[in-house]
Structure 1
Amino acid sequence: MSTLPLIFIDGDQGTTGLQIHERLRGRDDLRVLTLPAAERKDARRRAEAINSADIALLCLPDAAAREAITLIENPKVRVIDASSAHRTSPGWVYGFPELSAEQPQAIAQAQRVTNPGCYPTGAIALLRPLVQAGLVPADYPLAIHAVSGYSGGGRAQVEQYEGPEAAQAAPFVLYGLGLAHKHPPEMQLHAGLSQRPVFVPSYGAFRQGIVLSIALQTRLLPQHATLETLRAALQAHYAGARYVTVLDAQQSATTAQLDPTRHNDSNDMTLGVFGNPEHGHILLCAVFDNLGKGASGAAVQNLDLMLGAQ
C-alpha cells in the first residue's frame, strides 16, 4: 500500500477544482483522488472518499461544503475548504500564509483550513499590515474597489463569455449594488477592521486576473502615515515572501497603469502604494490572478504547508 498522502478533491469539475487538479498534475509526492461523474452526487461514495483521504480539498458551493464536513467521521482527515462557508468561523485557520510570521506554522498544523476569498486576499494583504502598524485606523471609512476576470463568477459565467452567446456578453459589469456582498465580513475580521468596509466588485470581459484598489486621504490618517511610511510598512511585512512583491518607490513612480492579467496562471501577487502628496491622496493596489493566489494557487500553497513541503 502506498504511503504517499491521499488528496481528495471534492468538486473537481468546478473552476477552482479543475485548476487545483491541473496544478497537482505530475506531482510524485502525493496521490489525487476524484470521483467519476456518476458518483459525484452519491452521498455514500463521497463519504467513503472523504474519510479515506489524508487531506480533503472542498471546491464546492457553501451549503455543499458544510454538508461535506458533516460526512467526516475519520478524525485524521484534514480539510482545506475553498468555499466561503468557514472564512469567519471559529476553529478554522485562515489560509493566507502571508498574514503573519506565525500563519504558515498555524496552517501546517491545522486540521481545518479555510481558503481566503479572491477579493479579500488583495484587500487583507494591503490593509492588515497597515492597520497593525497604526498607519490606517481600524475605523477608517474604507471603500474597496475591485475588477476581476469573468471566471470569478464560476462555470456559468465562463460559459456566458466563452459559449455561443459570447458576443452578447457585457464588456464590463458593476455588481453588488445592494452593498450586501459576502466578502466584507471576511475582510473586516482578517484585516483587523472595527467597521465593515464598503466593497464595490466588478468584472470585465477578460478571463482571469484582478486589480483591487483602496483610496485613502492623508487628512484622515495619523500624522506619521505618508506615502513612504505606508510603502515601508508593506515592504517590511512581506520581506522574504515567496509570492508577494511590493513595488519600491522607483517602480511605483514609473508605473502608469496596472494590468489585471499580469500574474495569470501563477500564485504571485504585486502590491503597490501610489499617490499624490499635493492633494493628500494615496492609492493602495493589489494585482493577482483570481484563479491563482485568489483560489487554486492559494489552496495548493496551503496544501504544501500541511504536507510539510514548504
Structure 2
Amino acid sequence: MTTSIFIDGGHGTTGLEIRDRLADRPEITSIVLDDDRRKDADARLDALRSADIAILCLPDEAAREAVAMLDGADTRIIDASTAHRTAPDWTYGFPEWEPNHRNAIATSKHVANPGCYAQTFIAMTHPLMMAGILPADAAISVNAISGYSGGGRAMIEEFESGTASTAFRNYALPLRHKHLPEMQAHSGLDSPPLFSPSVANLYRGMLVEIPLHLEQMRGGTGPGDVRAALRDHYADSALIAVLDEAETGALDLVPIERCAGTDRMEIMVFANPDAGQVRLCAILDNLGKGAAGAAVQNLNLMAGFEEYSGLRL
C-alpha cells in the first residue's frame, strides 16, 4: 500500500525540489495536476482532499486558504510557509528539536515545516537553553547568509540573468524579518534575537553565526561545555553533526557551500577562551535541511517510512 502525496504549489523552487526527491520512491504515489488544471479550484480541492498528506509550498495567505479548504478532511498537512510555525495547534517540523519530538511529528495531523534561518538558529540555541547553559533572557545576535534560491523565482532570475546589482546584499534592515517570531518561540528566548540576514551570488548554501560572550552563560561555562551540550543533543541524528574541537581547530575558514547538495547540518564552536568569547557557526543547504529536505524528513515520519529515506546524507 502506498501513501498518496499532493504538493500544492509544486512548481515553485521548494515544491520542485520535493517532487524530485519523491519521484523514484515506490512507496509514494504523487497526485499531479496537469498545467491546465492547476488553477482549477475544483481540481485542486479534489487533489488536496484525495491525498493522504498534502505539502503546501505556497505564500502564507494561500496556505491558510488551503488549510481552511481541508477543514474536516482526513488529509494531513505539511505547511512549508510561515503561516503556522508558531500556531499552538500545529507541530513544529524540526524532528531534532527536543527528545521524543519525532513521535510528536509522526502522530500529528498538522506539521509546520521550519524556516531555514530559524531552524538553524534554534538548532544552536535551544540545546544550550535545555542544558541550562544559556538563560532565556540572553540578548542574542545572529548573522546569516543564504544562497539566492531562498529568495524564490524572482531573485533566482535576477541573479542568473546577470542583472543583480551586487554579489552580496544584506536585507531586513528594519529588523522585522518574518522568521523572528519562530526564532523566539522555538528557541525559548524571552525576546527575539537581533537578526542580520543577507544573500550572496550562489544558488544554494547557508551559513548562520551566533557570537556569544561566555559571561552571557551560566557561571563557569567554557567552550567545551557548549560543544558537549550540542553534541549530546544531536547524538542520535544522522543529519546534524557537531564537529569536535580538533575538527573545528583544523579549519581556517568555513565555506558556505560546505553542505550544499546535502540534507546535513554541521555545527561548529569556535572559541577564544582568553577573551571569553565563542562563535557558533552552522552550515546547511537552504533547499536541503532548510526546506525540501526538512519536508521529506517530516513526511517520512508522518507516513511511517524510514526517517532518512530519500535524503542526502
Using structure 2 for the length normalisation, give the TM-score: 0.96
Identify the residue that residue 102 of structure 2 maps to in structure 1. Answer: 104
Find the aligned partners of 1:35 and 1:64 in 2 and give their Cα distance. 17
Alignment of 1:246-261 (within 5 A): 246-261=242-257
Alignment of 1:35-184 (within 5 A): 35-163=33-161, 166=162, 168-184=164-180
Once the two structures are superposed, residues 13-37 of structure 1 have per-residue CA deviations (whole angstroms, 9 ceiling, x without a partner) of: 1010000001111110010112222
Q: Does 1:272 align with 2:245?
A: no
**Where does structure 2 lack aligned partners over 5 or more consecutive residues?**
307-313
Relative to structure 1, the CA distance from residue 182 to residue 73 in structure 2 (aligned partners, 3 Å threshold; closer, same or farther) is closer
Find the aligned partners of 1:15 and 1:151 in 2 and give their Cα distance. 7
Find the aligned partners of 1:25 and 1:5 in 2 and give their Cα distance. 13
More moved, 286-295 vs 254-263: 254-263
Cα deviation for residue 252 of structure 1 reads 1.1
Find the aligned partners of 1:37 and 1:190 in 2 and give their Cα distance. 38
Say if 1:275 and 1:281, in contact at 8 Å, map to a contact too. yes
Find the aligned partners of 1:296 and 1:236 in 2 and give their Cα distance. 26
Identity over aligned pairs, percent: 46
Once the two structures are superposed, residues 158-194 of structure 1 have per-residue CA deviations (whole angstroms, 9 ceiling, x without a partner) of: 111112xx15441000000000111111011101111
Letter in 2 for 1:232: A
More moved, 126-135 vs 221-230: 221-230
Identify the residue that residue 190 of structure 2 maps to in structure 1. Answer: 194
Alignment of 1:268-307 (within 5 A): 268-307=264-303
Letter in 2 for 1:289: D
SS of residue in 2 equivalent to 1:216: strand
**In the comparison of the two structures, how many residue pairs are matched?**
306
1:32 equivalent among 30, 33, 42: 30
Identify the residue that residue 230 of structure 1 maps to in structure 2. Answer: 226
RMSD: 1.0
Identify the residue that residue 11 of structure 2 maps to in structure 1. Answer: 13
Say if 1:173 and 1:203, in contact at 8 Å, map to a contact too. yes
Identify the residue that residue 22 of structure 1 maps to in structure 2. Answer: 20
Cα deviation for residue 229 of structure 1 reads 0.1
Point out 4+ residue stretches in structure 1 off by more than 6 angstroms: none
More moved, 28-37 vs 144-153: 28-37
Say if 1:136 and 1:225, in contact at 8 Å, map to a contact too. no
**Where does structure 1 lack aligned partners over 5 or more consecutive residues?**
none
